[in-house]
Amino acid sequence: MKKFGSLLMSTLLCASLLAGCSSSASVSQSTVPETISTAEGAIETGSEEVSLEEMTAAKTETSTEALEESSDDTVVRIGGLKGPTTMGLVKLMDDVQNGTATNNYEFTMVTAADELTGLVASGKIDIALLPANVASVLYHKTEGKVSVIDINTLGVLYLVSGDSSISSIENLSGKTVYLPGKGTTPEYVLRYLISASGLSDDAVTLEFKSEASEVAAVLAEDPNAIGLLPQPFVTAAIAQNDSLSVVLDLTKVWDSLQEDGSNSRLVTGVSIVNNEFLAAHKDLVDTFLTEHEASIAYTAADPEGAAALIEKAGIVAKAAIAQKALPACNITYLDGQDMKDALNGYLSVLLSQNPQSVGGSLPEDDFYYLR
C-alpha cells in the first residue's frame, strides 16, 4: 500500500505558512494514507449545535445532479498541505477508503507550498488546497492557468501570552511580538492590523523566528512573552504551559476593522483547479466541491469523529489535541460570489502590504470559478 511519507511541518503561515520539505506519496480510491505527519490548523463551528444531517441535507438541485451524473472514471488528483486546509478533507479521504466517494480520487500530501505549486504547474495535480496568497501568485506565474474554486479555511492566527494586559492590538505598543516567517502572511496580517488600529510601524517590535515551534519555545521559557502562532500550535503550546492563553484572535480583530462594509475576510486556505482539467471535467470538479463541502460539514458536526480521522491521517499526532484545536481552526466552506468577495478583499490587503505577496497585482475575474 502506498503511504503518505512521514513529514515534519515547520512554519505554518496563514497563507504562505509551512516550511520543511519531505517526500510525498499518493493514495487512490481503493487505498488510504497510513501516515502523514504534523499540521497547520483550522475550523469555526459556532456556538449552536447542528446535526450532520442538517448541515449536509441542504444541497442544491445542481449539486445533486452533479453527483448523479459523475460517472467519469477519470482519476481526480488532489494535492494538499498538512494542516488546517486538509483537516476538512479527512472525511472525504475516509469515504475513499470505504469506497463511498463519488469521484475516483488520488491524494498527495506535502508540507511545503512550493512543492505543491510545482506539482500543479507540472500538471501532476488537478486540484490543490493551498494558502490563499500562494494561489494568487500561482495564477500570475502560470498566466491564468488556474482558478480558485472554494475557500476552505479562514483565519488560524492567534496571539498567545501569559500577559493578561493584552486585550487589543493597541496594547502591543512598546512591546515585542515573536512570530514565524519574515516576509510571509503572518507578518503582513499583523502589520496590517497594527496600522489599521492606528499604531505606527515602529510602535511594535517584530522578532522573527524561522518556525512556529521556535515561537512556542520562546513562550515556554518566558510565558510573559507574546507570540503569534497558528492552530494547532496554539492548542499544543497552551496544553504544555497553563500560564499561557489566547489573548487575541486575529480573525476577530480583522473582522472588527472592516467598518466600510467590506466583505473582506482573513483567509488561510483555498482550493484551486488546473483550468485544462476544469474545461475537460467540469462535472468532476463540481462533484468535488459538493463532496468537499459535505466533508467540511462533517468536521464541524462531529469534531470527535473528525479528530480521530485527523490523527489517523497523521495530520496531528493526537486526536485529543486535534479535537481541542478544531473549534479555533476556522475550517469553512465558501464558494461562488461569497468566495470572490472574501478572497478579493483579503488579497487587496496583502497587496497593500507587499505586492509580491500576491504575485504583483490582484488576479483578474477569471481567477474565480463561479459555478
Q: Are residues 142 and 271 in the same domain?
A: yes
Domain boundary residue, one of 197, 226, 256: 256
Q: Are residues 68 and 101 in the same domain?
A: yes
Domain boundary residue, one of 211, 228, 256: 256
Cell triple for 58: 441542504
Domain boundary residue, one of 202, 222, 256: 256
The answer as to whether 21 is a domain residue is no
From first to last of the 371 residues of the chain, give the pLDDT tens digit. Answer: 333 333 223 333 333 333 222 233 333 333 333 222 333 332 222 333 333 344 334 333 444 444 444 456 899 999 998 888 899 999 999 999 999 999 999 999 888 888 899 999 899 999 999 999 999 999 999 999 999 999 999 999 999 999 989 999 999 999 999 999 888 888 999 999 999 999 998 999 999 998 888 999 999 999 999 999 998 889 889 988 999 999 999 999 998 887 655 677 899 999 999 999 999 999 999 999 999 999 999 999 999 999 999 999 888 888 998 999 898 899 999 999 999 999 999 999 999 889 999 999 999 999 999 98
The answer as to whether 12 is a domain residue is no
pLDDT given at position 23:
31
Q: Are residues 130 and 44 in the same domain?
A: yes
The answer as to whether 337 is a domain residue is yes
Q: Are residues 204 and 140 in the same domain?
A: no
Do β-strands 127-131 and 267-274 pair in parallel, antiparallel, or remain unpaired? antiparallel
Q: Distance between CA 98 and CA 27 in Å, rounded?
A: 13
Q: Distance between CA 126 and CA 146 in Å, rounded?
A: 10
List the alpha helices (DSSP H) in the chain: 52-57, 61-69, 84-87, 90-98, 113-121, 132-141, 185-196, 212-221, 233-240, 250-256, 275-280, 282-301, 303-313, 319-325, 336-353
The answer as to whether 223 is a domain residue is yes
* 220: containing domain: 157-256
340 touches 370 (CB < 8 A): yes
Q: Are residues 151 and 280 in the same domain?
A: yes
242 exposed, middle or buried (CB, 10 Å; 0-12, 13-18, 19+)? exposed
CATH code of the domain in which 213 resides: 3.40.190.10
Look at the chain and report how many structural domains it folds into. Answer: 2
The answer as to whether 71 is a domain residue is yes
